Amino acid sequence: MSDRLNPFAIAQAQLAEAAKVLELDPAVHEMLRWPLRELHVTLPVRMDDGIVKVFHGFRVQYNDARGPTKGGIRYHPDETIDTVRALSAWMTWKCAVVDIPLGGAKGGIICNPKEMSEGELERLSRAYIRQVGRIIGLEKDVPAPDVYTTPQIMAWMADEYAFLKGYNEFGVITGKPLELGGSQGRADATARGGLYTVREAAKVLGTELKGATAAVQGYGNAGSFAHSLGQELLELKVVAVSDSKGGILNWDGLDPEAVAAHKQKTGSVVGFAGAKKISNAELLELDVQVLFPAALENVITSENAGRIKAKISAELANGPTTPEADQILYKNGVYVIPDFLCNAGGVTVSYFEMCQNAYDYYWDLETVHQRLDRKMTAAFHAVHEMAQSYKVNNRVGAYLVSVARVAKAMKLRGWV
Ligand code: NAD
């Protein structure tokens, strides 16, 4: 992977830009450039055909100055240690930007869950916890779902961890099913939180969202809820959506329930009746008001950034925009809501889940929504004001807010 597209090199470059503006102490900057700890694990798993296959996985604990680390586990064939490092760095900034008392971590396994049976996935997930179990825990590091990991996978992991400990410690993993200590409102929290920031962005930009056109890249947890909730909460007209197989477009709008039912039945949004097939590249360049990159990293680069026509790019995915592309979007007046702000709703409700598990007392859905809204709205305005006052783009603004908070915690602890 070239350095320009290596997510960890990108994360370090983004930090360097903020460090320059903040005139950060060089020792603080050097500490924040690297993960504190990382564990590489090798996982033998008996497959359904009786053959043992060996998988490789990671857990990276980036920085715990503000509290126990927190971050999802991703199952993906292209997973690399540098992707996990970058995601763990972004988790650090994300928890700081919404001001929850947690640090950042991330995990991953190199595998293709689409080609694995349910039994194989369960054995792989349990094998991961048998290795990683020694470094996670409610007061150490709390995993959660990410790309291609589900509440069921979290349930197997929480169960395996209970075997290791000899008792249930539900707070060790978030994103669990409700029956096993999950929180109300976790399933759609990432998209919902992102939509609250889009609502606030429209206010500061003086833009009307009712009936505004939108396109969503990626139709998993983040993307599919961006579609349905975008319509329900903000009255957006979502005209295009996509997944790994391609995209669909209908300028009259796409019905979220019908698209979800089609994907459920066929495995993809592609082929949905009454919509035109488009590529993922074309989707990004549509003349829409709001774009939601909600799939993977590096989809908006120096190559296509000049052709992005959206007024707002709400980054539900982590790392969708490269640093060169950021500069082009800023110059062209595209209002970017940066990833670790826009998608912080997921970790915020995961934190609520940890709190509820600790007290074994559960909140209703309305309480979760209200508290999420308060956190996201405050974080949005802190970032917007920082970016305005330093005359920098919103991503640098978000780094300025988060890095200052993490650096303060490190200073107070006497690390630097
Ligand atoms: P998911 O596994 O539920 O869905 C991923 C979706 O992306 C699928 O629809 C898949 O088909 C699609 N996809 C994969 N490759 C693609 C490609 N090349 N082009 C277009 N679509 C492609 O994952 P998710 O949880 O929705 O995560 C999506 C993004 O949101 C990731 O960057 C993730 O890190 C980020 N995120 C998720 C959460 C969360 O709570 N789920 C929280 C914060 C950030």
Q: Whose CA is nearest to atom 29 of ligand 1?
A: 317
Asked if the structure places residue 91 within a domain, the reply is yes
Residue at which a domain ends, from 176, 207, 240: 176
The CA 389 to ligand 1 mean position distance, Å, reads 33
Nearest ligand 1 atom to alpha carbon 344: 43
Beta bridge partners of 276: 249
Where would I find the H helices in 254-334? 256-266, 280-284, 323-331
Same domain for 312 and 194, yes or no, is: yes
d(CA 17, CA 151): 37
| Per-residue model confidence as pLDDT tens for the chain (416 residues) | 565 689 999 999 999 999 999 999 999 999 999 999 999 999 999 999 999 999 999 999 999 999 999 999 999 999 999 999 999 999 999 999 999 999 999 999 999 999 999 999 999 999 999 999 999 999 999 999 999 999 999 999 999 999 999 999 999 999 999 999 999 999 999 999 999 999 999 999 999 999 999 999 999 999 999 999 999 999 999 999 999 999 999 999 999 999 999 999 999 999 999 899 999 999 999 999 999 999 989 999 999 999 999 999 999 999 999 999 999 999 999 999 999 999 999 999 999 999 999 999 999 999 999 999 999 999 999 999 999 999 999 999 999 999 999 999 999 999 99
Same domain for 163 and 91, yes or no, is: yes
The CA 147 to ligand 1 mean position distance, Å, reads 5
Nearest ligand 1 atom to alpha carbon 245: 11
Beta bridge partners of 104: 63, 70
Same domain for 205 and 327, yes or no, is: yes
Q: Whose CA is nearest to atom 15 of ligand 1?
A: 244
Which mutation among 112, 149, 244, 283 tests ligand 1's pocket best, with the greatest number of atoms within 8 A of CB?
Answer: 244
Asked if the structure places residue 14 within a domain, the reply is no
Tokens of 326: 């950021």
Same domain for 196 and 333, yes or no, is: yes
- Residue whose token pair is 């915690």: 409
What's the CATH code of the domain at 211?
A: 3.40.50.720
Q: Whose CA is nearest to atom 19 of ligand 1?
A: 244
Asked if the structure places residue 271 within a domain, the reply is yes
Coil/strand/helix, residue 249: strand
Show the ligand 1 pocket: residues with CB < 6 angstroms.
145-148, 190, 217-223, 242-244, 280, 294-296, 316-318, 343, 346
Active site residues: 106
Q: Whose CA is nearest to atom 30 of ligand 1?
A: 317
What local confidence, expressed as pLDDT, does residue 2 receive?
A: 61
The CA 122 to ligand 1 mean position distance, Å, reads 21
Same domain for 129 and 230, yes or no, is: no
Same domain for 54 and 126, yes or no, is: yes
Q: Whose CA is nearest to atom 3 of ligand 1?
A: 220
Asked if the structure places residue 247 within a domain, the reply is yes
Same domain for 269 and 150, yes or no, is: no
**Global pTM?**
0.95
State the residue range of the domain holding 208.
Answer: 189-337
What's the CATH code of the domain at 83?
A: 3.40.50.10860
Asked if the structure places residue 310 within a domain, the reply is yes
Nearest ligand 1 atom to alpha carbon 320: 32
Same domain for 168 and 268, yes or no, is: no
What local confidence, expressed as pLDDT, does residue 16 receive?
A: 96
Number of domains in the chain: 2
Q: Do 56 and 110 meet the contact criterion of CB atoms below 8 Å apart? A: yes
Contacts of 103 (CB under 8 A, 6+ apart): 61, 62, 63, 64, 65, 66, 67, 68, 69, 70, 91, 92, 95
The CA 182 to ligand 1 mean position distance, Å, reads 21
The CA 217 to ligand 1 mean position distance, Å, reads 9
Asked if the structure places residue 229 within a domain, the reply is yes
What local confidence, expressed as pLDDT, does residue 5 receive?
A: 82
Beta strands in 52-207 (DSSP E): 52-63, 69-76, 103-110, 141-145
What local confidence, expressed as pLDDT, does residue 3 receive?
A: 56
**C-alpha 299: how far from chain center:** 15
Asked if the structure places residue 283 within a domain, the reply is yes
